[in-house]
A and B are shown apart, each in its own frame.
Chain A
Amino acid sequence: MKYTILLIVLPLLFAFLSMIFKNQKKPLLYLGITVNVALLFIISKGTYMIGGFDAPYGINLVLDQYSYIGVILINSLFFLSILSNSKLIGSYSPVYLTLLAGVNGMILTGDLFNLFVFIEITTISAYILTSQSKKYIHTFNYLIIGSIGSGLYLLGVMLLYAGFGSLNLADIAAKSSAATGLLLPLLLIFVGLSVETKLVPFNGWVRGIYKNSNGLVGSLLASIVASAALFVMGRVLNSLFATSAFMSNIIILVAVITLMSGEFSAFKGKSIKEILLYSSIGQSGLITLLMVTGLIFPAILLIINNAVSKLVMFSIADEISPENKTYSDLKGSFAQRKILGLGFTVASFSLIGLPLFLGFYAKINSLIGLFDINVLLPLVILLITVVEGAYLIRLNIALWHPGEEGESVYDVKVVTQAESNMGMILTVALLSFVIIITGLKPDLLGNSVLSDHSLLNTKTMTTTSEFLIDLKGGL
């Protein structure tokens, strides 16, 4: 139990140490991510009280089944992401370490103000990392929206403190069920969190940031930071918002609008990164929709699916076209790089939710779950799946099919397999394998991370297990 805290403080320690040992920055980064992956094997569930003070008084880290899945997903993907894009690290290694500490803190902390601090750590690291693209105006835009969002979040948290005299999420959740006047604080907290989860209308920053990020920063933002933000959103929604039907309806509306606008924009996207970024927005909307309706289990499956697929796809998108060409200019790029191409295809099929892949279980579980709540929502998801399928399959065909003679402007010489980055090929192969294996035998996932059905430790949890497809059955 006491090892939980090390997930946060050891990356910080290595980041601070790299100011002293200037020439060892990269080894310290590798050490940090490796230690964190190793820690995953020895952490055990439970609540860790920092400073030895009991829950509402001190800050506590909550490692229940929900955040356990979160830290496993995030730390292992972070490790793979750094390894597969190691040539893009540059002199920014301490910032990656603080980013890692920030996302771990966001998932683990059980204290609302502590969450604010970790959101700030994560977002400032993200500002610094995205400024590598030299498109400073986009980073500036992100900074302004992010700061206003976190300011409003802080205001909401302090209003809750004024009412309940506590900053602890579980404590407030227990006290807030009978309270009145919660609308404004909850709205403010939701607005603050929606900036990071890319919900309409607070996602104006996403386009400029994702489009201009390199493969490493793009995949970190799209898979790791986005997953962490969604995990936080899920926890806060299910502990605080469950009592307010009005807020829940607003959030469902926002989520559906986000989902539709994201996927339809992705359909119109021209370059690979553009398609991926709008698809990320759409997926965020979908996951928020599931979280607010209490379908935590399918939401987690979708987060895992989205994180793994986006990591693979963003890395490959940057590898084959760092300068962000439209995909019709990249015809046949996968013909020379079959492993990367296969990985990309597997990831996109899983994102659509085709059978045989992990995404299928996520989508089918969310459909069945939503049918119990509303008939319209599953229809929306089905429509969106068709749109998703259309643009992703179109993209895949364009990238595999060399096109007419002379039409392809792609320079064949640059892309021989041997020149490709070995780390990326291994990562892509590994992650594709994970997607396929969990798609074929989902009980593996069921036995390892999702065994416990009482995922989130709150009193208002709706039971998720009854109406869902039993993972143990397989195909």
Chain B
Amino acid sequence: MNATVVLELFISIVLIFIGVLIVFSKNIIKSIIFLSILSMITAVSFVMLKAPDVAITEIVIGSGLITFLFLFTLKTSKKAGDSE
């Protein structure tokens, strides 16, 4: 077993683990944060699979901007709900 095989196995297991955490977590904020972490690990797996272009995109869009969109949605909708 060389290092890349171990790394691949490790990343695969972590990906599934975090996916399970997101789907079965009761707290929506936790789900969003785990989604962001999932994106980061995905980016690592993209680097491992020799796709640096995609990895950069995944980091910036997947774990950066999308997370903020989710958080902004929750934040602003709370505000709108409070006013009623």
A and B touch in the complex (CB under 8 A): no
Binding site for A on B (CB under 8 A): none
Binding site for B on A (CB under 8 A): none
